[in-house]
Chains A and B, each alone.
Chain A
Amino acid sequence: MALLEVKNLHTHFFAEGSVVKAVDGVSFDVEPGETLAIVGESGSGKSVTAMSILRLIPNPPGEIVDGEIRFEGQDILEMTDEQVQDLRGNKIAMIFQEPMTSLNPVLTVGRQIAEPIELHRQAPLDKALEMAKVLLRKVHIAEHDKRVSSYPHQLSGGMRQRVMIAMGMACEPKLIIADEPTTALDVTVQAQLLELLKELTREGHSSLILITHDLGVVARYADRIVVMYAGRIVEQGTARDIFERPHHPYTIGLMNSIPKLDQDTKEKLIPIPGAPPDLANVPEGCAFNPRCEFAVEKCRQQRPTLEPVAVGHYKACWVDVRS
């Protein structure tokens, strides 16, 4: 059984007179131990998808209007608030992009790591603090003995992100959701942290949902990839499928438009024309159609559904662009 099954998820935001369909019919599974990457441009609904899984959507203006999110078979959307509380920071951990806003500035990092252990494991504070030290060592923080009593502002950006990871790992979660966990960090520090995250998930046999727009990171760390565009999944498959045999025109466009470090050529990039749509006003039919060179009449009228093109590889597009 999949660890997480997201089925037909719709999360919308309501403002005067307009509805932003941030997530509009998204389905995917996460298997135990796998790393699933969610990629897509800014505003395509990646973070809203992640926040929906933990029921962190601010209401109003947001609402999960339809769908199911099954974790170990149980629908999170049907759970009581207490049950969801018990999942967060326990069986499911979330690591955000900006550690400074998600860490408490007036609590030592030791206390912050110890808190979920106290809460979910009913451990006494001194025990929990001991475990916090062990966790700080695990995330390779030098002088972890002293660092437990540091405050967030006394740490570098990379160290704060390590603390976030240590907090996330405190209760040995089954699922870690990392939303752009390293974009604010330097290249070499980013590599250290992603390697660490991967090592920890391997050790604990946990699954990882990695949200990023960095296709290099995806190529290195993901087993499978979900490509989102305007609140919908346009393609889904193994990392090799998506990079080597992309089927959806948006995915193909994305692959052609990025310069690649392993290809030292001066050839012109092939950009995707136009700009992503306003989610309060998504084009009829296929949301990509105004930017798509393959679009036919049907694309402007009917919304394509996610259909298999090979085992485990799906695309939502009316045209067979590879033949």
Chain B
Amino acid sequence: MGRMSTAEPEKLVSVSNLSVHFPIHASGVVKRQIGVVKAVDGVTFDVFKGETLGMVGESGCGKSTTGLATLRLIEATGGSIHFEGRDISKLSRGKLRPIRQRMQMVYQDPYSSLNPRMKVRDIIGEPLTVHHLAGSKAEYRQRTDELLEIVGLHSYMGDRYPHEFSGGQRQRIGIARALAVNPSFIICDEPVSALDVSIQAQIINLMEDLQQEFGLSYLFVAHDLAVVQHISTRVAVMYLGKIVEIASRRDLYRNPSHPYTQALLEAVPVANPALEAERAHRIIEGEVPSPINPPSGCSFHPRCPMARAECKTVTPELKEIDSGHSVACHLFGG
């Protein structure tokens, strides 16, 4: 598929060997460091212009941390981040500011991520003020009105407070705020998980429309595999701080290769009773281990039905097994 296209897709974001290790301190008077949480541990991925990279994985595997570190909202302990061709991982705060404008974030919880004491117009307009894009009062008003309309709200709603809105409407406000500064890249961290099923489709469609209209690229983090399948161009699967598989949406769902990806896809029930009645339900045992003390070798080995001797000792590297399809697993000569 990729070979058919005339031009190489253009990289917008390029994250290489990213790691975020949080120190753990002993409780007590002297906060001695007693270890580290390897929340993100050597993650490499690209986001191409106009695409959506989906990111899935179980709770605590490092999805949000990866997103935050990519935007430098938290500092990485290692690796590099290129944005629009430029290494931003070592830029000073001042130099970073104009670039920040081009990279935005939409958060999971539309209830706690909006300041309850601010009017919706000012929540949306805040990034305009921060980046000195507001100009006159009239311009500010016009731009915030426009943003409200883009996300399907009415301009008169700008004078209300967040608590007067439903969950879906609040998520629209969060999206409007992210769009205020004309970004090219938006990280969406579980943007629909807190919403009612009947509202999720409204937001997903809105995000797809905006992507078309403004040529946006998304890193879309979610745990709902059906939502990720729907919205993504490519999908990365994380387990315990690492990407274990990355492929086009089609390859990942039709030909999952890492045993963890396979287990994940088998564990998720499909909304189709006839299909469910026939499906095999192999269920992997155990829970995700702690990133404070991850298993040796491949961190999935204690739960993996295919594990062999080397899996316990050698960490598999992410290797391309097919064009655009990479897997970190010894079964594939990792």
**Is A298's beta carbon under 8 Å from chain B?**
no
**Is B169's beta carbon under 8 Å from chain A?**
yes
Which listed residue, A243, A268, A272, touches B208 by the CB 8 Å rule? A268
Q: For A262, what are the chain B residues with a Cβ–Cβ distance below 8 Å?
A: 270, 272, 275
Q: Is the pair A269, B288 in contact by a Cβ cutoff of 8 Å?
A: no
The complex places the Cα of A192 from the Cα of B229 at a distance, in Å, of: 23
Q: Is the pair A219, B272 in contact by a Cβ cutoff of 8 Å?
A: yes
| Smallest CB gap from A273: residue in B | B202
Q: Is the pair B197, A213 in contact by a Cβ cutoff of 8 Å?
A: yes
**Is A130's beta carbon under 8 Å from chain B?**
no
21 contacts between A and B (CB under 8 A): A41-B196, A41-B197, A140-B285, A159-B287, A188-B283, A189-B287, A190-B267, A191-B283, A214-B269, A216-B226, A216-B268, A219-B270, A219-B272, A254-B197, A259-B229, A261-B253, A261-B271, A268-B205, A271-B201, A272-B198, A272-B201
Interface residues of B in 44-101 (CB under 8 A from A): 58-59
Q: What is the CB-to-nearest-CB distance from A270 to chain B, in angstroms, rounded to a whole number?
A: 7
Q: Is the pair B271, A243 in contact by a Cβ cutoff of 8 Å?
A: yes
| Smallest CB gap from B224: residue in A | A259
| Smallest CB gap from A242: residue in B | B273
| Smallest CB gap from B197: residue in A | A213
Chain A interface residue count, CB cutoff 8 Å, equals 48
The complex places the Cα of A218 from the Cα of B229 at a distance, in Å, of: 20
| Smallest CB gap from A156: residue in B | B287
If the complex has contacts A42-B196, A195-B281, are A269 and B271 also in contact, measured as CB distance less than 8 A? no
Chain B interface residue count, CB cutoff 8 Å, equals 46
Q: Is the pair A215, B58 in contact by a Cβ cutoff of 8 Å?
A: no
If the complex has contacts A240-B274, A243-B272, are A271 and B264 also in contact, measured as CB distance less than 8 A? no
Q: For A192, what are the chain B residues with a Cβ–Cβ distance below 8 Å?
A: 283, 285
If the complex has contacts A257-B198, A275-B168, are A191 and B267 also in contact, measured as CB distance less than 8 A? yes
Q: For B202, what are the chain A residues with a Cβ–Cβ distance below 8 Å?
A: 271-273
If the complex has contacts A191-B283, A269-B204, are A258 and B199 also in contact, measured as CB distance less than 8 A? no
**Is A217's beta carbon under 8 Å from chain B?**
yes
Q: Is the pair A259, B269 in contact by a Cβ cutoff of 8 Å?
A: no
Q: What is the CB-to-nearest-CB distance from B231 to chain A, in angstroms, rounded to a whole number?
A: 8
If the complex has contacts A186-B58, A189-B287, are A239 and B198 also in contact, measured as CB distance less than 8 A? no
